[in-house]
């Protein structure tokens, strides 16, 4: 087994799998992909999309508890996947192109090459999409398809949205939906197999001789010669011995918005005072590492169903609703997921009633203004980091979510839902005022599991990455995952994270030609 390659990619997740696959298309380029978790090959628990909720808090989940929240739900935990394919092997596979306005704002921040004109072609390249329009890709590795309208409660909900003035609107049309609802598109195959980054990018090339995938290989730190990244130390799958793998050209970190800042800090790149607190030698004082964590916080409102809910589904969360809580926005500030399940994981402990035959709407804040942090607990790579999302520390976020609970009630009060909506289970009909709703939200909210922007690109000195995903202050080290986003996109970000992997592979080929 060789331990020297042209590129070492750490993290076989949504972006990392794309990077490794694209780089190894050149038979003269050798790539080593390190993944801390097991392989997903042949594992029905992972591959069958409709099982995804059972993966939460399972052995496939890093299951990061969050720090106590002053304004939010301290019981909440962040699910991060510990398996080949990363969170694309662990999530509900809701597939969105980011709004052009998000990407153009990235470019306006000085990030040349990240506007919609540059990123939309990457979406087209990566997808095989059944949606209408010449803008869609028809031959990419990731299968994206529209959810079939088989859930009768969901059909009624879309009719109720229209009665409330929220029209049924095509998603992923190339035009941003600021006020509309529809069945989602999902990255999944017709047989129910998730089209994760692993299934899409890695499974077809597992026998590629110049690509070596090492699973159960937990990265300890990046190694350096001076300020040049030379490779990675990792814990072998025997869980005893440390091994090293070296990169002749570059190292790419794709371990996600929680573990990438952690790995950088363990490697001496981060806020200097914080690193010295744990006796870590400071290679680069980079105060922006782990300092701007963003997320989509999510509330929930649920009703007992008068009729039997579906007993089978593509992934149980099949409809999205977008709208605005104030005039003049070019992007929605409020989104809902419709679930054909009760989703009571944070309400039962607070004493709210529940039902196994229920449905829910989950309002989330698409452009939350509360920023959190990722910090080390110790210098031991095995210790989980301290994740503090600082939910609802900006009043905008609670205002938007409170409006979401009120709008959800208006939708479900429409005539189309009369045959479906029974008693409101939580928060319950007695919770009416904004203060009462806010109190309920702060005790029971969840997350859409979209942490991002914790190692952001930017032209400012305190931003850890430049526009080519290079870590500032060192050479031969890049980041390709959701942590690199300058801010979290308005929609579910997984397809954009794959596109970041596509973009990174292009940059590596260009810069190492």
Q: How far apart are CA 19 and CA 28, in angstroms?
A: 16
* Domain-embedded: residue 460: yes
Confidence class for position 146, pLDDT limits 50, 70, 90:
very high
- Is the model's pLDDT at 513 over the cut of 90? no
Q: Quick one: which of 266, 268, 224 has its CA closest to 244? A: 224
Q: Which residues are annotated as a binding site for FAD?
A: 83
- Is the model's pLDDT at 359 over the cut of 80? yes
CATH of residue 245's domain is 3.50.50.60
- Is the model's pLDDT at 2 over the cut of 80? no
Q: How far apart are CA 127 and CA 139, in angstroms?
A: 7
Helices and strands counted in the chain (H then E): 11, 24
Give the per-residue SS3 of 322-361: EECCCCCCCCCCEEEEEECCCCCCCCHHHCCCCCCCEEEE
Q: Give the rounded distance of the alpha carbon of 265 from its chain centre.
A: 21
Phi, psi torsion values for 90, nearest 5 degrees: -135, -15
Q: How far apart are CA 436 and CA 459, in angstroms?
A: 42
Q: How far apart are CA 172 and CA 133, in angstroms?
A: 10
Tally the C-alpha atoms within 13 A of residue 403's C-alpha that lie toward its C-beta.
14
**Longest CA pairwise span in the chain (Å):** 69
pLDDT of residue 214: 98
DSSP 3-state assignment of 19? Answer: helix
DSSP string, 243-297: EEEEEEEEEEE-SHHHHHHHHHHHTTEE-HHHHHHTT---SEE-TTTTS-BB--E
pLDDT of residue 251: 98
The 10s digit of each residue's pLDDT in 91-128 is: 999 999 999 999 999 999 999 999 999 999 999 999 99
* Domain-embedded: residue 312: no
DSSP string, 451-481: -B-SS-B-SSTT-SB-TTSBBTTSBSEEE-S
Q: List the domain range (segments joined by +) for residue 462.
A: 4-46+195-293+452-511
- What tokens does 75 get? 């019981």
* Domain-embedded: residue 23: yes
What's the whole-number average pLDDT of the chain?
A: 98
Percent of the chain having pLDDT more than 90?
Answer: 99
Q: Which of 78, 203, 346, 450 is catalytic?
A: 450
The 10s digit of each residue's pLDDT in 478-511 is: 999 999 999 999 999 999 999 999 999 999 999 9
216-220 own/partner pairs: CB under 8 Å, 24+ apart: 216/35, 216/36, 216/37, 216/38, 217/34, 217/35, 217/36, 217/243, 218/36, 218/381, 218/382, 219/10, 219/11, 219/34, 219/36, 219/255, 219/263, 219/381, 220/266, 220/381
Sequence-distant (≥ 6) Cβ neighbours of residue 277 within 8 angstroms = none
Q: How far apart are CA 228 and CA 294, in angstroms?
A: 29
- The average pLDDT across 333-360 equals 97
* Domain-embedded: residue 207: yes
Note if the bond before 274 is cis, omega within 30 degrees.
no
| Percent helix, percent strand, percent coil in the chain, to nearest 5 | 25, 25, 50
- Is the model's pLDDT at 236 over the cut of 90? yes
* Domain-embedded: residue 469: yes
Q: How far apart are CA 110 and CA 74, in angstroms?
A: 36
Overall domain count for the chain: 1
* Domain-embedded: residue 208: yes
Q: Catalytic residue at 450?
A: yes
Q: Quick one: which of 225, 245, 224 has its CA closest to 234? A: 245
Sequence-distant (≥ 6) Cβ neighbours of residue 354 within 8 angstroms = 302, 342, 344, 347, 348, 425, 426
- Bridge partners of 222, per DSSP, are 232
* Domain-embedded: residue 226: yes
- Is the model's pLDDT at 231 over the cut of 80? yes
* Domain-embedded: residue 26: yes
Q: Quick one: which of 422, 298, 440 has its CA closest to 357? A: 422
What does the angle CA 202 – CA 312 – CA 89 come to, to the nearest 5 degrees? 20
pLDDT of residue 1: 64
CA distances from 93 to 11, 129, 131, 222, 323 (A): 19, 14, 16, 31, 22
Q: How far apart are CA 327 and CA 179, in angstroms?
A: 11
- The average pLDDT across 287-306 equals 98
Q: Quick one: which of 421, 437, 448 has its CA closest to 359? A: 421
Q: How far apart are CA 116 and CA 501, in angstroms?
A: 16
């Amino acid at each position: 087994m060789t331990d020297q390659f042209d590129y070492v990619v750490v993290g076989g997740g949504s972006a990392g799998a794309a990077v490794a696959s694209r780089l190894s298309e050149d038979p003269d380029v050798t790539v080593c992909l390190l993944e801390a978790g097991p392989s997903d090959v042949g594992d029905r628990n992972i591959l069958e999309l409709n099982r995804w909720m059972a993966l939460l808090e399972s052995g496939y989940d890093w299951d990061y508890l969050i720090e106590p929240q002053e304004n939010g739900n301290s019981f909440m935990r962040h699910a991060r996947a510990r398996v080949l394919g990363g969170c694309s092997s662990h999530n509900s596979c809701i597939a969105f192109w980011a709004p052009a306005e998000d990407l153009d704002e990235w470019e306006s921040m000085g990030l040349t090459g990240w506007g919609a004109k540059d990123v939309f072609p990457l979406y087209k390249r990566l997808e095989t999409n059944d949606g209408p329009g010449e803008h869609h890709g028809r031959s990419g590795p990731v299968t994206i398809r529209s959810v079939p309208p088989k859930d009768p409660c969901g059909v009624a909900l879309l009719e109720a949205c229209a009665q409330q003035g929220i029209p049924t609107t095509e998603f992923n049309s190339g035009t941003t939906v600021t006020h509309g609802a529809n069945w989602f598109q999902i990255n999944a195959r017709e047989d129910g197999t998730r089209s994760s980054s692993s299934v899409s990018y890695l499974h077809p090339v597992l026998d590629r001789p110049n690509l070596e995938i090492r699973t159960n290989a937990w990265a300890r730190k990046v190694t350096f010669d001076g300020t040049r990244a030379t490779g990675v130390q990792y814990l072998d799958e025997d869980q005893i011995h440390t091994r090293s793998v070296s990169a002749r050209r570059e190292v790419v970190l794709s371990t996600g918005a929680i573990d990438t800042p952690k790995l950088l800090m363990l490697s001496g790149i981060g806020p200097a005072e914080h690193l010295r607190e744990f006796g870590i030698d400071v290679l680069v004082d980079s105060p922006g590492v782990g300092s701007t964590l963003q997320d989509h916080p999510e509330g929930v409102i649920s009703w007992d169903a008068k009729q039997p809910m579906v007993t089978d589904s593509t992934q149980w969360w099949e409809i999205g609703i977008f709208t605005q809580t104030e005039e003049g926005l070019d992007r929605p500030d409020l989104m809902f997921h419709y679930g054909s399940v009760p989703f009571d994981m944070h309400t039962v402990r607070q004493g709210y009633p529940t039902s196994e035959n229920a449905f829910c709407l989950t309002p989330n804040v698409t452009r939350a203004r509360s920023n959190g942090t990722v910090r080390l607990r110790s210098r031991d790579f095995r210790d989980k980091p301290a994740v503090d999302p600082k939910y609802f520390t900006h009043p905008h976020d609670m205002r938007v979510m409170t409006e979401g609970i009120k709008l959800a009630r208006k939708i479900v009060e429409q005539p189309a839902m009369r045959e479906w909506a029974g008693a409101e289970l939580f928060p319950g009909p007695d919770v009416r005022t904004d203060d009462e709703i806010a109190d309920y939200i702060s005790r029971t909210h969840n997350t859409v599991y979209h942490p991002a922007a914790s190692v952001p690109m930017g032209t400012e000195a305190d931003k850890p990455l430049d526009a080519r995903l290079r870590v500032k202050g060192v050479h031969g080290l890049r980041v390709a995952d959701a942590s690199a986003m300058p801010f979290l996109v308005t929609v579910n970000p997984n397809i954009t994270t794959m596109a970041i992997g596509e973009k990174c592979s292009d940059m590596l080929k260009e810069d190492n030609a």
